[in-house]
Amino acid sequence: MALDNLISLEFSEEELQKINTAIQELHNIIKTKAVNLSPEERRQYGSIADRNKIFVDKCKAFMEQDPSLLPRTIDKEEFDKDYTARGQVEEPLRKLARITEMFSDTKILLDFDNYNAAITYYRYMKYLASENEPGSDTIYRSLKQHFSGGRVAEKEDEPKGGIVKNILPKAE
């Protein structure tokens, strides 16, 4: 195992199947109830901050304390339905956000490990090509295309696109 390997894991086929089945089950439940906003609509409607949730909670409590003060323009039954549904959506959303973060963090480390191994391989092919090792020049020429300019310079630039540059070493 490489000294710079940050993570090592495997998923069994059974585990992958369970993950995919759980995701599909969630999708099947929510697909007929959820909406899909455009980026413009997300900006338009925004989201309410915690202090505004407290405001909504207080308004609900006051509406229930004295229903005679409720404006006729508010459909209290629909308000209550939306209020209840928001609460029902909030908890699974928090749990899913944590799971998404766990998958994302794991993928970041896996990508980092893979990229570092690929850079090591690239540098080794560069060395072998400089030593005229049979077959290495073709591999090296193919790989060097992923670096700025597609040609070898004294020091190579970062690969085009992909991995975040500020956390990965330069290929030299």
Q: Which of 95, 152, 115, 80 is nearest to 4 (CA)?
A: 115
What is the helix, strand, coil percentage profile of the chain, to 5? 65, 0, 35
pLDDT of residue 148: 77
Confidence of residue 4 (pLDDT cuts 50, 70, 90): confident
What pLDDT, in 10s, does the model give residues 135-148?
Answer: 999 999 999 999 87
One-letter amino acid identity for 144?
K
Between CA 64 and CA 158 the distance in angstroms is: 62
For the chain, give the mean pLDDT.
88
Pairwise pLDDT comparison (16 vs 148), residue with the higher score: 16
pTM equals: 0.72
CB 6 within 8 A of CB 109: yes
What pLDDT, in 10s, does the model give residues 23-78?
Answer: 999 999 999 999 999 999 999 999 889 899 999 999 999 999 999 999 999 999 99
Q: Which of 80, 84, 95 is nearest to 26 (CA)?
A: 95
**E-only strand ranges, the chain:** none
Burial (Cβ within 10 Å: 0-12, 13-18, ≥19) of residue 71: exposed
C-alpha pair distances (Å), 66 with each of 60, 62, 119, 151, 157? 10, 6, 69, 76, 69
Between CA 134 and CA 146 the distance in angstroms is: 22
CB 143 within 8 A of CB 125: yes
Using DSSP, state whether 147 is helix, strand or coil.
strand
pLDDT of residue 153: 45
pLDDT of residue 152: 46
What pLDDT, in 10s, does the model give residues 85-110?
Answer: 999 999 999 999 999 999 999 999 99
Between CA 67 and CA 55 the distance in angstroms is: 17
